[in-house]
Amino acid sequence: MSKGFGAAEFLFLLEGLKWTLLLSAVAFAGGGVFGLLVALGRTAPYAAVRRAMAGYIAVFQGTPLLMQLFVAYYGLALLGLKLPAWVAVAIGFTLNASAFLGDIWRGAIEAVPRGQDEAASALGLHYGQRMRDIVLPQAFRIAQPATVGYLVQLIKGTSLAAIVGFIELARAGQIVSNQIFEPILVFGVVGAIYFCLCWPLSLLSARLEAKFAAATR
């Protein structure tokens, strides 16, 4: 039933792209929120909290994402949590992204000079205010290139969701390719779609970097 690469095949790829985008967005949003908590915990004034967060980061950075997705997908089901597949996978990606973003932002928070926090303390600002108004805005600027770099990795990494049966962009490409026997063409298109997603992000990041640099120089 080989019929070449037509509109139907392209739509099938776009259907896969939808999942890639959705998983990336959920993982980045979830990873953003929980990663921030991880970063704050990792730099908290309490040793126990710091150690717990260091352990979390070590586990999720030190094991394959693939394995984490398996655990999220099958493990949660074994625990009796009946979740839709995409929710389970999104949880897996979120946990992983939290560890990586948390570690990136931890480093950035620590890179903000101590004097900034001290000056804010001397002015009477509390921890939350110091973080929100002084430390985090500077930390995010420092972390911005690494954060976008991670986001790009994440978008490409969602292809691992195929392992638990997800038909995201890469898997959709594989299916189409198997149908029409034109792997070079199909994966060329798939690659181009990934590129169109990731390249603008890198460009935007470079633009922002230049803008921040200009504003503070």
Partner 1 sequence: MSHAQGEAPLIHMEGVEKWYGAFQALTNINLSVRRGEKIVLCGPSGSGKSTLIRCINHLEGYQKGRIVVDGTVLSNSMKAIDAVRSEVGMVFQSFNLFPHLTILQNCTLAPMRVRKADRATAEATARRYLDRVRILDQADKYPAQLSGGQQQRVAIARALCMEPKVMLFDEPTSALDPEMVKEVLDTMVGLAADGMTMICVTHEMGFARQVADRVIFMAKGEIIEEAAPETFFSAPQHQRTREFLGQILQGH
What is the distance, to the nearest Å, from the Cα of residue 157 to the centroid of all Cα atoms in its chain? 9
Q: Residue 129 or 202: which CB sits closer to partner 1?
A: 129
Using the rule CB under 8 A, is 208 a contact of partner 1? Answer: no
Judge whether 23 and 93 are in contact, CB under 8 Å: yes
Nearest alpha-carbon partner for 145 in 209, 211, 216: 209
Binding pattern to partner 1, positions 163-192, x when CB under 8 A? ------------------------------
> Is residue 172 classed exposed, middle or buried when 0-12, 13-18 and 19+ CB atoms within 10 A define those classes?
buried
What is the distance, to the nearest Å, from the Cα of residue 3 to the centroid of all Cα atoms in its chain? 37
Using the rule CB under 8 A, is 125 a contact of partner 1? Answer: yes
Taking CB under 8 A as the binding criterion, the range among 51-59, 120-128, 155-163, 198-206 that sits at the site for partner 1 is 120-128
Nearest alpha-carbon partner for 116 in 143, 142, 134, 133: 134
Q: Residue 84 or 124: which CB sits closer to partner 1?
A: 124
Using the rule CB under 8 A, is 118 a contact of partner 1? Answer: yes
Using the rule CB under 8 A, is 45 a contact of partner 1? Answer: no
**Considering only residues 29, 59, 74, 137, which one is a binding residue for partner 1 as defined by CB under 8 A?**
137
- 3-class SS at 124? coil
Element (DSSP H or E) covering residue 132:
none
Residues in contact with partner 1 by CB under 8 A are 113, 115-116, 118-125, 129, 133-134, 137-138, 141, 215-217
